[in-house]
Amino acid sequence: MAENAAACRDLGVLTMDFFANLSLAFSVIFQPNNLLFCFIGCLIGTLVGVLPGLGPPAAIALLLPSTLHMSPVAAIIMLGGIYYGAMYGGSTTSILVNIPGEAASVVTCLDGYQLARQGRAGPALGMSAFGSFFAGTVATLFIMMVAPPLARFALKFGPPEYFSLMFLGLTLVTSLGTGSLIKGLMMAAVGIFLGTIGTDIISGVERFTYGSYTLMDGLGFIPVIMGLFGIPEVLENLEGSLKREVYKTKISHIFPTLKDWGDSIWAMIRGSFLGFFIGILPGGGPMIASLAAYATEKRISKHPEKFGTGVIEGVAAPEAANNAASQGAFIPLLCLGVPGNATMAVLMGALLIYGIKPGPFLIDKHPDLFWGVIGSMYVGNLTLLVLNLPLIGLWVRFLKIPYAILYPLILVFTLVGSYSVNNSIYEVITMILFGVVGYVMKKFKYEGAPLILALVLSPLMENALRQSLILSHGSFDIFFTRPISLVLFVAALLSLASQMAPGFRKKLSKTEG
């Protein structure tokens, strides 16, 4: 009896907390300034998604310098909006041009483009937008429920736990990628090395600076990201024909029929759950979520042979999953201070530039920022639904801009963006050099994401390692005798071992292909 009463009381407190947090979230987002930047973020995000040649990490890195004069809350709201906005926009090119606007919409091409060829581009675009809206809203609700207890739990973390967690993040990024596991690990090692360039904060010794004042503060990660993600995309597009064929079809009936809803609703729900849980994994992310959701739907479908010929659930599931994952990915960053993918690594860099340390204390120390971001997700999803359905014609027009006109614009923005971080020509040169490296890496099938994540995590991991060893008087046992650290280490090793099991990676690449 007493236990029941206590449980009811706890539930009551949790419910009250939930509504108090919701009220705080809306009070922050409905400030005119924040609302405006949320809208701008969603607008730019959709544009980034629609236009091939600039993905969310490069776009966010590019716009980061322009946010230095804004309040951190408005800045993160805008940059976050670009990230999940790109997930909405990415499906438009997948469906109409058979070219994914960004990586997370690769599988949407399979059925989305076929639907467009059958004259059903409208319902495909509509279902994609509704699926994204549904998943985004569900994921935001989940974040509200999961984030506060997770942050409280993370208060128990010391340097060994953080080291193990970051190690897990790195192994998951490399092992969940669709490329070669060994190459992924190699890129993580390169990122770790690049992260050591600069002055060692413990000993004050300069590492690999060769007397350069610019390198003393370390390699700027914004030029590296823009170089690795922005320039290679442009160069690859220059290799082929610059003309894109937008499938000529009348876009009508964007509101799907009852049959479409019947076919898609469970795919959408499953995609939302799966996407969210993949998103919160360090190393997970929208691309893996969309691949997994598509594979799941195909596996459990009564007519798997029809997948790839234009079935609406083949659009609903991955689009729901990539949106849920993009929002779930905020959890490890905001609650644990560990970015789960390349875009979150850029956002982490942004937070650090604003003087805000992401992690378990963020919710208590900067409640306006945390709950403001949550509020912006609700408003942003609604904004994106409006932007993507009635205004679909506008985005199609953007698709018709010749790439020969577009690419100089993208290049100029990356050049100015990298310059304006520190008003330094060296950052521009760094960006161009990493652009060349990124282009060659793509040709030889090396992924950039593990490198970026390792670059951001490297100084944090090194610090955590050295602090842990100080705590343990030089014994590595500390990582294996503390339960949380041990569990995280075992999980990291299991993730690597599972990838070495035959068949697993083949399945992933098969789904993508």
Partner 1 sequence: MVLAMKRDQKSSLAWFAFALYICVETARKLPIGTWGDPGPGFWPLGAGLILGGLAALVFLKSLPGKFSGEKVPWYPLHTWKQIVAVLLALLLYAATMEFLGFLLGTFLLLIFLFRVAEPQRWTVALGASALISLAAYGLFEKWLRTQLPAGIWGF
Rounded CA gap, 102 and 46, in Å? Answer: 11
Q: Which of 18, 261, 398, 419 binds partner 1 (CB under 8 A)?
A: 419
> Which amino acid is residue 53, in one-letter code?
G
- Residue (of 452, 84, 138) closest to 277 by Cα position: 138
Query: Using DSSP, how many helices (H) and how many strands (E) does the chain show?
Result: 25, 2
Token pair listed for 135: 């998943």
Contact 93, 53 (CB under 8 A): no
Window 141 to 170, contacts with partner 1 (CB under 8 A): none
Q: Is 110 in the site for partner 1 (CB under 8 A)?
A: no
> Which amino acid is residue 228, in one-letter code?
L
| Shortest distance, position 189 Cβ to partner 1, whole Å | 4
Strand partners, 441: none
Contact 367, 318 (CB under 8 A): no
Token pair listed for 310: 């234009």
- Residue (of 91, 89, 85, 86) closest to 110 by Cα position: 91
Rounded CA gap, 266 and 281, in Å? Answer: 23
Token pair listed for 458: 């490297």
148 vs 198 by CB, closer to partner 1: 198
Q: Is 205 in the site for partner 1 (CB under 8 A)?
A: yes
Q: Is 432 in the site for partner 1 (CB under 8 A)?
A: yes
Q: Which of 196, 249, 301, 309 binds partner 1 (CB under 8 A)?
A: 196
Q: How many residues bind partner 1 (CB under 8 A)?
A: 60
Q: Which of 423, 502, 503, 513 binds partner 1 (CB under 8 A)?
A: 423
Q: Which of 145, 412, 497, 500 binds partner 1 (CB under 8 A)?
A: 412
Q: Which of 26, 31, 179, 193 binds partner 1 (CB under 8 A)?
A: 193
> Which amino acid is residue 430, in one-letter code?
T
Strand partners, 207: 198
Q: Is 216 in the site for partner 1 (CB under 8 A)?
A: no
| Shortest distance, position 293 Cβ to partner 1, whole Å | 31
Rounded CA gap, 222 and 228, in Å? Answer: 10
Q: Is 460 in the site for partner 1 (CB under 8 A)?
A: no
Q: Interacting stretch for partner 1, rule CB under 8 A, among 10-18, 97-105, 114-122, 420-428? A: 420-428
| Shortest distance, position 84 Cβ to partner 1, whole Å | 24
Rounded CA gap, 345 and 342, in Å? Answer: 5
Q: Is 444 in the site for partner 1 (CB under 8 A)?
A: yes
Q: Interacting stretch for partner 1, rule CB under 8 A, among 139-147, 255-263, 341-349, 419-427? A: 419-427
| Shortest distance, position 230 Cβ to partner 1, whole Å | 11
How far is Cα of residue 248 from the mean position of the Cα atoms in its chain?
32
| Shortest distance, position 436 Cβ to partner 1, whole Å | 6
Token pair listed for 486: 């041990």
Q: Which of 52, 53, 65, 438 binds partner 1 (CB under 8 A)?
A: 65
Window 230 to 249, contacts with partner 1 (CB under 8 A): 234-235, 238-240, 242
Token pair listed for 305: 């042979």
The total of other beta-carbon atoms located within 10 Å of residue 248's CB is 7
Q: Is 416 in the site for partner 1 (CB under 8 A)?
A: yes
Token pair listed for 110: 């399979």
Contact 461, 338 (CB under 8 A): no
Build a one-symbol-per-residue string for 382-411: x at contacts with partner 1 by CB under 8 A, - elsewhere.
--------------------x-xx-xxx-x
| Shortest distance, position 35 Cβ to partner 1, whole Å | 19
Q: Is 480 in the site for partner 1 (CB under 8 A)?
A: no
Rounded CA gap, 380 and 39, in Å? Answer: 7
Positions touching partner 1 (CB under 8 A) are 65-66, 69, 180, 182-183, 185-186, 189-190, 192-193, 196, 200, 202-203, 205, 207-208, 234-235, 238-240, 242, 402, 404-405, 407-409, 411-413, 415-416, 419-420, 423, 425, 428-429, 432, 435-436, 439-440, 443-446, 458, 462, 465-466, 469, 473-476
